[in-house]
Amino acid sequence: MSLLSSKCRSFLRRHRVSRHTTASPTTLVWWGSFEGGGGATVGDLHAVDNLSSALRQVGHDHDVLSHPALGIANHRQTGDLFDVRREIETLVFVCGPILPGDQLADLLAVHRKARKIAVGVSVISRHPDIAARFDAILARDGLPKPSFDLAISCSQPCTTPSAGKRLKVGLCFRGSQQDYGKGMAEWAKAEKLLLQLSEMFDFETEPIDTVLRPGNEAVEIERQFETVDLILTTRLHGALYGLSKGKPVVAIDQVRGTGKVKPILDRIGWPLAYSIEEASESLLVSNMRRIMAEWPVAAVTNSQATILDLSAKARSRAVALITQA
């Protein structure tokens, strides 16, 4: 789309004469609310669902808006997010990075009189203008006093694989990434290191794509995490889901200077998270040998407990912020 076409489309969204779709005074949106599903992931979905469940528990009425392309039955299906009327009093953006795309900027402009809150999000220092459009932010990372991610609300026990079994590893990669600036994500290097690690130990591999789309629904993605023995990932939710399913995780933060993956995994005490600068073949191989020699059941279990504690506290803080007068 040309710059002129984009500007025209933005103008029409912001200045539409009539809007016919009503929504609750408190409305939750996420990347899955936007056109075509917005590239939303299973982590985004569970974050918004967990927050919605917490709001229902305290009796706070609300809507969760999702694009019909995702087919999420318990959400309010909204094919055109910009047809929603302006009666929304509290607009809550849930999970993912706050990025200065036209759709999010236009949505905030349309509902300019609403109280605008972001929860469970990543705040990226190079995008201060879009973050400043919110009245309050509970960030999982990027602010001096971070909250936590909202995607995880339960866990499964970690068990040691049977002796002699050829292990199956889930490969959950972010791929190319521009959020932090051009050239800041060394994704090809990170993926090469993890693929080499898998080949060296002769693991069976299972690619796991966490982006929601027809044929790749949340149930199928979760099943994939459950049927592997460990996870190699460059994604935050790849790591958090792996641990919550009782799987050891080797994670590389592919953003130079670190993005969100290593800082958040450091907060839960997970030892096998590496910056792209420190990750090397020798380091990964050495630590994988330790995993193979003694399956890290205690480390996974301890990290699960911390994830669940921090996630519960983050949900409570979000509910208190949303429901305050």
The series of mean pLDDT values per 10 residues for the chain, 325 residues long, is 78 91 97 94 98 98 97 95 96 96 94 97 96 98 96 98 96 96 96 98 98 96 98 98 98 95 97 98 98 97 98 98 90
Domain 168-295: homologous superfamily in CATH: Toll/interleukin-1 receptor homology (TIR) domain (3.40.50.10140)
- Domain boundaries in the chain? 14-151+311-323, 168-295
pLDDT of residue 3: 67
Fold of 14-151+311-323: Rossmann fold (3.40.50)
pLDDT of residue 6: 82
Do the first three CATH levels of 14-151+311-323 and 168-295 match, i.e. the same topology? yes
pLDDT of residue 7: 85
Chain centroid to CA 221: how far?
14
pLDDT of residue 101: 86
Q: What angle do CA 72, 76, 78 make, to 5 degrees?
A: 95
Question: Which of 214, 216, 207 minimizes the C-alpha distance to 235?
Answer: 207
